[in-house]
Structure formats: C-alpha cells, structure tokens
C-alpha cells in the first residue's frame, strides 16, 4: 500500500516538473521556428535625421571606457547630430582626466547604491531640455558598427519609439565567451527575431537599445530597478501598448564573459531579476483580460521560463534516470520533451554559428550548467544590491552591414 502511494506520488511530482519544463521547451520551439523565417522591415523614405544622445553609463569601467568613447565616433551618421555622453561612476582620476580631453560630454555621478537606472536619470536631468530626439543606451564595453546610428535613425523614421539592435560578441577567446556568444544569439532568435516575425514586441537586451528621448526620460523617472532595469522597461512599455522593434542587421559588439566567476556573477544578477519580476505575472494576466495586451502578458510570462542551460542539463538527466525508475510511457514523454528541446535550441542557433566554435560551446555546457546551478542557489536577495561584473579591454573591427 505504502509503496503504491509512493509510486503514484513520484509520478505526480514528475508530471508537475515535466509540465513546467514543457512550458519552457515549447515556448523556445515556437519562437525558434518563427526565427528561421527572415524579419526584415521595409524602410520608408528618409524623413529626417534625428539628434541622438549616445549615453554610456559605466561603473569602475576604466579598462574599456576610453576605447569605447573613441570608437563611438566611428559612425557614418553626421557628427553634428549626435553626442557621446559618458556617465562616469567611480572612475579613476586618470581616466576622468583622459575623458575630459575628449570631444564627449562627461557627467560624473556617485551613489550610495549604484545602478544603471540612477545613472541614466541623473544624466538626463543634467542634459539640456529639447536637445535630443533619440536616447541610445550602450554598455561601457559596447562598440557600434559604423552604420548603427543610421539604421537606428531609419527605424524611428518608420514610426517606432523603442528599438533594440542586434548585440553580437566582440570576443570569443575562451570557452565561456563562446558559450555566452551562442547563448546571446539564441536569445536574439527567440526573444527578438522570432517574436517580431509573429508580430510581438521584441525583448530588450539592456544595451544597444534606443528610445524616443522625451518618452524615455519620462518613463525612466518611474524606473528604480537595481538589477534587470531593461525588464522593468519592457513591462512598463508593453503595459501601455508600446511596440518594441528589433533590427537584425544593426550590430553592436558586446564583450562576453571570459571566466567562470564572472559567469556566476552575471547569471546570478539575471536570475535574481527574473525571480523578482516573475511576481508581476498575476497582474499581467489581469491586465490582459481587461485590455488584451498580449505583448505585456508575453513579457511577464518570460519571467517564469526555466533558464535554457538548465533545460539543456536537466532534460537529458531526467530522461536517463527515467529508464531505471519509470514505466515506459513516462520515459517516452521525457525523451520526446528532450528531443523538442534539442530541436528548438538548434533551430535558434544561426547558421553562421555552425562551426568549430559551436563544438567548443557544447563542451562547455556541463560547466555552464554547474555554474548556473550555483547562481540559482545564490541568487536570493541579489536583486536588492548592485552586482558589478568588470569588463576587460577587447578590440573589434566594426563594419557596415550590406
């Protein structure tokens, strides 16, 4: 009798776990399939060349900020129509003096608890009213392709007020950097390209994103996130019916994590933000019932998704164990779910990434899974404090995309 109860309890628990993992797996597959089809919005005739504020907030980013500031001027957009604004938090005196000698706008800030949202709000409070049409946000390590601003400007001429560029790796010098690079491309396929192909707002990436300036300034005054401020922005915009555009051919180069300790810090910050914003789902569901804003519900539902690398690690493990403890029908379900996960992941990887680097990334998955588990265990409370992940100097040759 007791054995029978334990048996059915084991099956019930597995079905609950399977249902949750199936939610994440099927979500990935749907948008991965959509991403296979090209999303290339047709540009309208050029209406105007907007004035752009290129804002670069940085905290203790002395190693990369000088190179970023120099490269930011390497644009085919008219130089008189954009300003490079460095928002410097806790930089060294030597770095500050070097920045002061450059043709940029330097805004020094200091906070008891530093956040990107605070830095941006302080900068916009300092900048003159009415000077800019577009606010472009970069990370301190980001390098724009030479036609980045031109493509951003064209998108705003198409009527969008929120646009996400295509972040790509500027370094692939370690196994973790390659794994991080592939992971970002999968995210681009699922949360940006696949979404737009189905008419749903793209996800923001935290940098390489642009907004109508006055709209952004007003919105940011309500944002106080310590971590995951881009997720809060997504939820605010989609709650109000604002569509987010994605430009697949508009590249900004982003430094990928090179070492395990940085990987853990970064994922810990991401997981903490995801857990925090998962609590928004019930309100998003009620909002959807009232206003039918599916984009808002979708963005809130994303906070409930299991991390991809956990899916990649857990499903094969559960499938293997199932052979020894479960009836055949349950093992078959685990195997089908694993196959769906594998199909979704490989569809989301761009064709250009099918090379030797992909094999290196796959070899790093077990370590990534282990460190993701460490991040998950240590993520509690991380969203209540600022977690800084330092960047290293890494150069990339920017280019114009045909």
Question: What are the tens digits of pLDDT across the range 205-256?
Answer: 999 999 999 999 999 998 877 777 899 999 999 999 999 999 999 999 998 7
Side-chain-facing half-sphere of 262: CA atoms under 13 Å: 13
Name the more confident of 185 and 390.
Answer: 185
Burial of 188 per CB tally in 10 Å (0-12, 13-18, 19+): buried
Q: Who has greater pLDDT, 156 or 364?
A: 156
- Residue 200 near residue 294, CB atoms below 8 Å: yes
**How many angstroms separate the CA atoms of 374 and 265, rounded?**
10
* Token digits of residue 83: 């300003």
Q: Rounded to an integer, what distance in angstroms lies between the CA atom of residue 210 and that of residue 237? A: 13
What is the pLDDT, as a whole number, of residue 381? 53
Average pLDDT for 288-305 = 94
pLDDT of 202 reads 97
Q: How far is CA 253 from CA 115, 140, 148, 237, in A?
A: 22, 11, 11, 25
Q: What is the pLDDT of residue 361?
A: 76
Closest residue by Cα to residue 53 from 222, 209, 164:
209
Please give the domain boundaries of the chain with CATH numbers for all domains.
Answer: 52-278 (3.90.550.10)
Predicted confidence band of residue 130 (pLDDT cuts 50, 70, 90): very high
Query: How far does the chain reach from its first CA to its final CA, in angstroms?
Result: 70
63 and 69 Cβ atoms separated by less than 8 Å: no
Is it the case that residue 268 has pLDDT exceeding 80?
no
Q: At what angle do helices 175-187 and 356-377 cross, to 10 degrees?
A: 90
According to the model, what pLDDT value does residue 378 have? 58
Alpha-carbon 317 to chain mean position? 28
Q: What is the pLDDT of residue 261?
A: 62
Helix runs in 170-280, H state only? 175-187, 194-197, 213-220, 229-239, 260-278
pTM over 0.85: yes
What pLDDT is attached to residue 398?
A: 47
What whole-number percentage of the chain has pLDDT above 90?
A: 64
pLDDT of residue 297: 96
Q: Inform me whether the pLDDT recorded for 386 exceeds 90.
A: no
Cα separation, 349 vs 311, in Å, equals 16
CA dist., res. 175 & res. 258, Å (int): 8
What are 367's strand-pairing partners? none
CA distance 284 to 305: 15
Distance of CA 361 to the CA centre of its chain: 19
pLDDT tens string 62-108: 999 999 999 999 999 999 999 999 999 999 999 999 999 999 999 99
Residue 165: what are its φ and ψ, rounded to 5°?
-80, 180
Residues in the chain: 402
């Amino acid at each position: 009798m007791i054995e029978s109860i334990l048996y059915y309890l084991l099956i019930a628990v597995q079905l609950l776990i399977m249902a949750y993992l199936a939610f994440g797996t099927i979500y990935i597959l749907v948008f991965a399939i959509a991403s296979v089809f090209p999303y290339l919005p047709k540009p309208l005739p050029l209406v105007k060349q907007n004035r752009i504020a290129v804002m670069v907030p940085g905290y203790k980013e002395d190693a990369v900020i000088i190179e970023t500031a120099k490269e930011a001027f390497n644009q085919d957009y008219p130089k008189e129509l954009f300003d490079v604004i460095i928002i410097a938090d806790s930089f060294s005196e030597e770095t500050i003096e070097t920045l002061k000698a450059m043709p940029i706008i330097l805004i020094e800030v200091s906070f008891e608890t530093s956040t990107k949202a605070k830095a941006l709000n302080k900068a916009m409070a300092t900048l003159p009213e009415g000077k800019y049409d577009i606010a472009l946000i970069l990370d301190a390590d980001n390098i724009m392709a030479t036609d980045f601003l031109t493509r951003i400007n064209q998108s705003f001429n198409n009527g969008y007020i929120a646009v996400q560029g295509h972040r790509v790796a500027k370094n692939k010098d370690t196994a973790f950097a390659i794994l991080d690079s592939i992971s970002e491309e999968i995210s681009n396929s699922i949360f940006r390209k696949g979404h737009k192909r189905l008419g749903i707002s793209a996800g923001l990436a935290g940098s390489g994103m642009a907004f109508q300036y006055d709209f952004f300034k007003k919105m940011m005054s309500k944002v106080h996130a310590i971590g995951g401020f881009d997720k809060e922005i997504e939820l605010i915009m989609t709650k109000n019916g604002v569509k987010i555009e994605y430009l697949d051919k508009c590249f900004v180069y982003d430094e990928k994590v090179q070492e395990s300790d940085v990987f853990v810090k970064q994922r810990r910050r991401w997981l903490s933000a995801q857990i925090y914003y998962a609590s928004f789902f019930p309100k998003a569901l009620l909002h959807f019932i009232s206003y039918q804003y599916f984009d808002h519900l979708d963005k809130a539902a994303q906070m409930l998704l299991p991390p991809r690398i956990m899916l990649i690690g857990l499903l094969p493990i559960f499938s293997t164990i199932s052979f020894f403890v479960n009836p055949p029908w349950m093992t078959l379900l685990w195997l089908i779910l694993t196959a769906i996960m594998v199909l979704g992941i490989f569809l989301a990887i761009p064709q250009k990434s099918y090379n030797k680097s992909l094999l290196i990334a796959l070899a790093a998955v077990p370590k990534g899974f282990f460190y993701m588990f460490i991040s998950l265990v240590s993520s509690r409370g991380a969203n209540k404090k600022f977690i800084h992940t330092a960047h290293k100097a890494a150069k990339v040759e920017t280019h114009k995309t045909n």
